């Protein structure tokens, strides 16, 4: 069973479109995250949610809107896609802060903007 | 300033040899955690090993060990008996503070294992 699953794995779309990436975890974790990995492989956190509550919101354009319908799901919606949004987006989950729990990552969604 | 520095963009090692991947960090927090992740060419991120700032012993997980030198603020990953399947990108990451849950990543080291 996949612990953290993201769909789709690949997303190719045109500038200006709106798209969503879905993430689900079956680990029973309380905290979920979105990270962006750029073309140079640099990983940076975008958002984190703990029990459906937004905890971390880095300096991300407000075209990016995370939504957590329940603690097992964290989706990422992106409006008005731009060329610079091309990247790999990773969802992750953990048991949360305060303990040395690792973050478990999904396989990533490769977003390509034409 | 970089919080996590990985100075080796690429490393080569022969199969069955040991290799050390360097990681230095910068924080003023007393409580923090250090992680290593592996990213094979297939793209997924795989957790390898964790070291807490208060852990007195170096962490070990199978062929992976973490050489933690707190005074030098370094947390190097040692892979013993390298295998061809160890070829991948390796990322060092830090979580600052007990209650902040943000991982800060280094730029990664690409390890290539040759026969």
- Closest residue by Cα to residue B87 from B19, B29, B1, B4: B19
* B68, B103, B104, best to mutate vs chain A, most A CBs in 10 Å: B103
Q: Please check whether residue A79 is in contact with residue A63, taking contact to mean a CB–CB distance below 8 angstroms.
A: yes
Sort out which chain A residues have CB atoms less than 8 A from B42's CB and list them.
107
pLDDT for residue B100: 67
Shortest alpha-carbon distance between residue A94 and chain B (Å): 9
Sort out which chain A residues have CB atoms less than 8 A from B89's CB and list them.
41
pLDDT for residue A90: 97
Cis bond upstream, residue A8 (ω within 30) = yes
The 10s digit of each residue's pLDDT in B29-84 is: 888 899 999 999 999 999 999 999 999 899 999 999 999 999 999 999 999 999 99
Query: Would you say residue B86 has pLDDT above 70?
Result: yes
Shortest alpha-carbon distance between residue B48 and chain A (Å): 9
pLDDT for residue B30: 87
CA dihedral A48, B106, B34, B38 (to 10 degrees): 90
What integer is the mean pLDDT of B81-101?
89
* Digitized pLDDT (tens) for each residue of chain A, 114 residues in all: 679 999 999 999 999 999 999 999 999 999 999 999 999 999 999 999 988 888 888 888 999 999 999 999 999 999 999 999 999 999 999 987 666 778 999 999 999 999
Q: Do A107 and B44 touch (CB under 8 A)?
A: yes
Shortest alpha-carbon distance between residue A38 and chain B (Å): 11
Q: Do A105 and B45 touch (CB under 8 A)?
A: yes
Q: Do B101 and A96 touch (CB under 8 A)?
A: yes
């Amino acid at each position: 069973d996949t612990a953290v699953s993201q769909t789709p794995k690949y997303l190719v779309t045109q500038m200006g479109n709106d798209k969503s990436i879905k993430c689900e975890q079956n680990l029973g974790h309380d905290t979920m995250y979105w990270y962006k990995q750029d073309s140079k492989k640099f990983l940076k956190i975008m958002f984190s949610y703990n029990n459906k509550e937004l905890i971390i919101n880095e300096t991300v354009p407000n075209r990016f809107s995370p939504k957590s319908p329940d603690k097992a799901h964290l989706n990422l919606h992106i409006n008005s896609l731009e060329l610079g949004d091309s990247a790999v987006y990773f969802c992750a989950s953990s048991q949360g802060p305060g303990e040395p729990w690792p973050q478990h990552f999904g396989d990533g969604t490769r977003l390509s903007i034409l | 300033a970089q919080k996590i520095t990985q100075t080796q963009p690429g490393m080569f090692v022969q199969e069955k040899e040991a290799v050390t991947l360097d990681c230095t960090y910068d924080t003023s927090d007393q409580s923090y955690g250090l992680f290593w992740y592996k990213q094979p060419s297939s793209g997924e991120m795989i957790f390898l090993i964790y070291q807490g700032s208060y852990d007195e012993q170096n962490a070990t997980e199978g062929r992976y060990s973490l050489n933690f030198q707190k005074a030098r603020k370094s947390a190097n990953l040692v892979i013993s008996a390298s295998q061809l399947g160890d070829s991948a990108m390796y990322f060092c990451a830090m979580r600052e503070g007990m209650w902040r849950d943000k991982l800060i990543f280094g730029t990664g080291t690409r390890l290539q294992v040759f026969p």
